[in-house]
Chain A
Amino acid sequence: MTYIGTATSRVDGHAKVTGTATYAAEAKTTGLVHGSVVTSSIAKGRIVRIDVSDALRVDRVIDVLTHANRPPMADADSGYKDEVAPDGSPFRPLYDDRILFSGQPIALVVAEDPETAQFAASLVRVEYAEEPHVTEMYRRWDDAPALKAVAKPGENPFSPPKPRGNAKAALAAAAVRHQGDYYVPVEYHNPMELYGSTVTYESDGTLTVFDKTQGVQNVQCYLCGVFALAPERVQVLSPFTGGAFGSGLRPQYQVVLAALAALALKRSVRVVLTRQQMYGLGYRPAMIQRIELGAKGDGTLEAMTHDAITMTSQYEHFYRQETGWSGLLYQCPNATYAHRVAPLDLPTPCDMRAPSAATGVYALECAMDELAVALGLDPLELRQRCYSDRDQNTNRPYSSKNLHECYRQGAEAFGWEKRSPEPRSMRDGSELVGWGMATGVWEALQVPIAVRIALTANGHAEVSCATSDIGTGTYTIMAQVAADMLGVPLDQVTIRLGDSTLPQSPVEGGSWIAASVANGIATTSDAIRDELLGLAKQMPNSPLSDIAPGEVVLVDGKLMSARDPARAVSIADTMRHGGIDRIELEKTTRFPKDETHSHNTHSAIFAEVKVDEELGVIRVTRVVSTVAAGRILNTKTASSQILGGVVWGIGMALHEETLLDHTFGRVMNANIAEYHVPVNADIHDIDVIFVDEPDDSINRLGIKGLGEIGIVGVAAAVANAVYHATGKRVRDLPITLDKLLA
């Protein structure tokens, strides 16, 4: 293979560095009008009256849409259910007078230009009948309902796993125990691109929707449901997405408002949210996790309990399996989980980079570090003693798991053996030095997907699939795989994605697209090859006349025997002889359910922090992230993915926190100045290492996916390093200096 596994530069790189890559709010269309959103100032209650008279008196204002004058929308929940909606009653923008959260959209002012729309929006006056709200998880401590554990593996991927053994008794009997409460605050994705949609109202009444999303077909289906439109009346496009990290898995409300206005006004409409308004979208739910670990004196785990309380909205039941990662990762005969979900007057949470694992593994891996301290064991040694070759929840072996090698190579690259075990024992002048480590784990998922390939006689391939590239490098890896499978140069491959009319793809999330679409391309490429072979066999004196399809590969524009390169014919000749100039085929790839293995990616993270002893200022000076994730398609974009995940983990550990004022039920730092994410100065050396992890059983190409694994465990590694530096254990994130000084 020429391209797979290499450090190929992004095929969309030129577009991105020259500013020609076009994002949702940039789509060119004529006769465009602009919508500005008015949001609620209260967290719960009803709208008594919306006075739009002043707004309507502004020159160039076209209309103000509210629940009172909107066009028809679906009246059943089913109309609003998207592909990844949780149970419950999805939020319906501008549907009725109910206020479900502060920052809820309640009106859309449409004007000829965006500035006028924004100005007029400031003139909309709203009268509310306010009701008492609760936005604080702690206030639901006693009455938050518990989730039921699954009875058998795979029943519900989000429910707590089935308990095993007798954790209570085993804990009581354990030689060494550790218990701790770990807190992760509400976090927001904050992709750099503002949520926006441009809806072109075509002359025949159809809608062409440029949307910021991770799933064009999800949005297309959803809009058809909300507005009872025939599928052919809505096309959704998203050629480029300026980051999403999970926030674009579900359709967001601006696309509903833009489509609603377009239908109401029969005009093309653009709606772009402000950064502040994006804090009315989904978020990573806050969670308090209590973990108790019991071990023998030699460090082997005897028991664990993992209890969590988290949050959802009042209208949807969103939850993920944070507790399950504890049960899965380490050899431990006794385990129980409790998981309670508090409904609050906030928007529904949503998936955010490594949902559940970022949160759950943070708690587990800090608890393991504390257990290591209690045992007097090196934290890495403890992980190795608890190493499991089987998924402990399902008791299945892994299709592949090379975490051992992550530990080994990571420790070596980091220099872990030079670590002095005592906290506060390493120093660099006025700074305390701390070294911490953690394990990361994520699922290797794959989903049914369809890929269409058109190969022309002149050696050009167009590969189409309705997936997205949210910065992950999908365009590039698709081109690499197609080039290798079809035997054409990379620059002769055109990738089409982000268009709902293309072959079926699920949302891009869960790190499942690389594996799915790459194998999808392989499947369709096989079909192309078979068709070519059929033609080649009919050629006079064909060198391939008696060869089986499985023995033929496409290389350098030729059909060739895999065993004997001399037996070959050119694709161009084959097509010409067959009287065609192109072959176009679409195939769906499904991945058989493997009930005999668990499929996961793993990582080992080693972090160095330097902490000013007197002032508590923390610097993450070095991180080594070692990843076992099957075959790596592109070492350049793959390590970028991991690097980004590490930066996210550093932010999670030290910076990110949504500040909710529970009196007002509002986010007070709803911006990107006071909601701190890492800036360039916060990030130093990050070393990404991929260990070999051949996996013949997971899928044909042995691919696992990388979008999530990079963040998992990083916050724990940093927190553990901070403890090692300072001797102070801060369990509630982010670790700001006031917590160290306290």
Chain B
Amino acid sequence: MINFRYTRATDVGDAVRQIAAEPKAKFIAGGTNILDLMKYEVEQPTQLIDISHLPLRIIEEVPSGGLRIGALVPNSDLAYHPLIEARYPILSSAILAGASQQLRNMASTGGNLMQRTRCFYFYDTVTPCNKREPGSGCSAIEGINRINAILGTSEACIATHPSDMCVALAALEATVHVIGPSGERAIPFADFHRLPGGTPEIDTNLAPDEIIMAVELPPQGFASHYSYLKIRDRLSYAFALVSAAAALELDGGRIAEARLALGGVAHKPWRRVEAEAALRGEVPDRAAFAKAADILLRGSCGFAHNGFKIGLAHRVIERTLMQAAHGTPQIQAIKKIR
């Protein structure tokens, strides 16, 4: 473990003041990712600001008809919340596909958004990594990159975002409410995470002195036609090679509305509105799904070990859309893929 100073934020304003005062400070809530990384000396905050007790644990209905999820709601509470299970089951399913029950009990909603890549080279302080040490180089491009990205990569970084929950939130078009010294703002989920570009050390568009207050779900929850399908190297407790969140609204045998997002393939949950637009008005069949997959995966590019993800992602998209269309979502405890 590295050395750090521990402080407690008394309220949200105090949390923002504290982080603004110490640029190398980090927030700690569930701790599942930050402590892991600090033990490996990957993260080296000078200070941990404990926000775990701030009053951000509420899930409440908002006037627009959506739901507002406090940033500190634990993943398991969120997954099992009756309103989430009933109205946004894709979110429940995605959360339950990730980590273990112990980790889900600890991990917070905001922390899930902020979790960092699992790239082997990011985790090993001996090897160059632009995300960990800007300018040191990317070891994964020429190294072991089976788990790395196939979309939106840059010459500086081919890391993926590891979250399952965020894939569902992307599909649901959630909004992230944040607050900083200059006040509150809302970030559309699609704009929350970044592509690596030339600055892979910056994962998100959250400013260093801002804190996540809540994640808001819009009214539409796609509760009747959805699925979250996660493909990984063992049947549980492993990060996704490829995952997909698919949500459809069907009207008279045709697709009225579609959402499609991928995990495990890019530096952020991967979504393209064009792919969803291509589904609208179509009959939900394999041909339509394949076309959407083509669009969503356009420009994908594999490296020495992860080229398989392109074909796999194509099939996963089709399958997940099929599950959604049939109203037979993948159930995470059942390992046979429906």
Contacts and interface: CB of A to CB of B under 8 A. Distances in A.
Interface of A: 41, 102, 115, 118-119, 122, 276, 429-431, 610, 612, 614-617, 619, 654-655, 659, 661, 663-664, 666, 668-671, 673-674, 676, 678-682, 736-738, 741-742
A661 B126 CA distance: 12
B1 to A, nearest CB: 6
Contacts of A619: 235, 335-336
Interface stretch (B140-148, B183-191, B269-277, B292-300): B140-148
Contacts of B41: 122
B124 A668 contact: yes
Given A668-B120, A674-B118, A674-B120, A617 B337 contact: yes
A614 B235 CA distance: 16
Given A115-B1, A610-B336, A612-B337, A663 B142 contact: yes
Nearest to B305: A738
Interface string B1-32: 11100000000000000000000000000000
A615 B312 contact: yes
A742 B308 contact: yes
Contacts of B315: 614-615
B236 A679 contact: yes
A671 B120 CA distance: 10
Looking at chain A's contact residues, is the secondary structure mostly helix, strand, loop, or mixed?
loop
18 contacts: A115-B1, A118-B1, A119-B2, A430-B338, A614-B315, A615-B319, A619-B335, A659-B146, A661-B127, A663-B142, A666-B126, A668-B144, A679-B235, A682-B235, A737-B233, A737-B312, A738-B146, A741-B312
Interface residues on B, range: 35 or more
A288 to B, nearest CB: 19
Contacts of B241: 737-738
A431 B3 contact: no
A-B pairs, 7 with minimum CB distance: A681-B236, A738-B308, A668-B120, A41-B126, A681-B235, A679-B237, A612-B337
Interface string B223-266: 00000000101111111010000000000000000000000000
Contacts of B2: 119, 122
Report which residue of A429, A612, A742 has the largest number of chain B beta carbons within 10 angstroms of its beta carbon. Answer: A612
* Overall SS of chain B's interface: loop
Contacts of A654: 234
A485 to B, nearest CB: 45
Contact of B124 (A119, A122, A615, A666): A666
Interface string B145-184: 0110000000000000000000000000000000000000
Contacts of B76: none
Contact of B231 (A617, A676, A742): A617
B139 interface: yes
Contacts of A612: 336-337
B235 to A, nearest CB: 4
Given A431-B336, A614-B315, A681-B335, 16 more contacts: A115-B1, A118-B1, A276-B40, A430-B336, A612-B337, A615-B315, A619-B335, A655-B234, A661-B139, A661-B143, A673-B118, A679-B235, A680-B236, A681-B234, A681-B237, A682-B234
B121 interface: yes
Contacts of A736: 233
B311 interface: yes
A615 B335 contact: no
A392 B65 CA distance: 77
Contacts of A41: 126
B316 interface: yes
Contact of A668 (B1, B121, B231, B311): B121
Contacts of B121: 668
Nearest to B334: A681
Nearest to A114: B1
Nearest to A651: B234
A677 B236 CA distance: 11
Interface in B112-148: 118, 120-121, 123-124, 126-127, 139, 142-144, 146-147
A231 B338 CA distance: 64
Interface string B198-238: 00000000000000000000000000000000010111111
A664 B142 CA distance: 12
A676 B234 contact: yes
Contacts of A610: 336
B210 to A, nearest CB: 29
A666 B235 contact: no
Given A119-B1, A614-B319, A615-B337, A682 B143 contact: no
Nearest to A680: B236
Interface in B307-338: 308, 311-312, 315-316, 319, 335-338
A612 to B, nearest CB: 5
A430 to B, nearest CB: 7
Contacts of B147: 674
Nearest to A122: B41
Nearest to B336: A431
A28 B124 CA distance: 34
A616 B2 CA distance: 42
Nearest to B233: A676
A663 B146 contact: no
A654 B234 CA distance: 8
A736 B309 CA distance: 12
